């Protein structure tokens, strides 16, 4: 379980596109393609690509399902804890104001978000 620096943004930007960056890692797709696809989904839904409902619909179309994390201890279950509990597979974790991808127990981000608290996650459905 480790933090891995990851920034597929072609211009190296760090702010405002965390969802696009996380989806890039989750789907193994380039930033431009993910941005265009989520933007088109936003166009269809008449909302911004960064809206949870927009990119959530995009992930559903790709076969992903949303799972809620138990809230019995909401201030103590961190991204690092999730990684320890999920050493295999790929997941998109949704935090309060951020999104990060976990792949095979490592978390990929532009900063070390390991102490942040995830609210829910997306995983590939059966």
| pLDDT digits 0-9 by tens, 54-105 | 999 999 999 999 999 877 665 678 999 999 999 999 999 999 899 999 999 9
> How far is Cα 79 from Cα 102, in angstroms, rounded to an integer?
8
User: Mind listing the pLDDT tens digit for each residue in 15-39?
Assistant: 889 999 999 999 999 999 999 999 9
Is pTM beyond 0.85 here? yes
Among 1, 28, 8, smallest CA distance to 92 is for 28
> How far is Cα 124 from Cα 11, in angstroms, rounded to an integer?
29
Domain extent listing, the chain: 3-124
């Amino acid at each position: 379980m480790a933090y891995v620096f990851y920034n597929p943004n072609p211009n190296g930007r760090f702010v405002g596109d965390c969802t696009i960056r996380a989806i890039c890692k989750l789907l193994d797709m380039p930033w431009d393609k993910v941005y265009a696809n989520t933007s088109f989904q936003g166009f269809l839904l008449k909302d911004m690509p960064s809206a949870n409902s927009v990119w959530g619909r995009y992930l559903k179309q790709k076969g992903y399902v949303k799972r809620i994390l138990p809230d019995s201890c909401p201030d103590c279950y961190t991204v690092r804890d999730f990684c320890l509990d999920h050493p295999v597979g790929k997941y998109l974790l949704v935090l309060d104001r951020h999104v990060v991808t976990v792949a095979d127990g490592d978390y990929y981000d532009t900063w070390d978000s390991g102490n942040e608290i995830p609210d829910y996650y997306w995983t590939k459905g059966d």
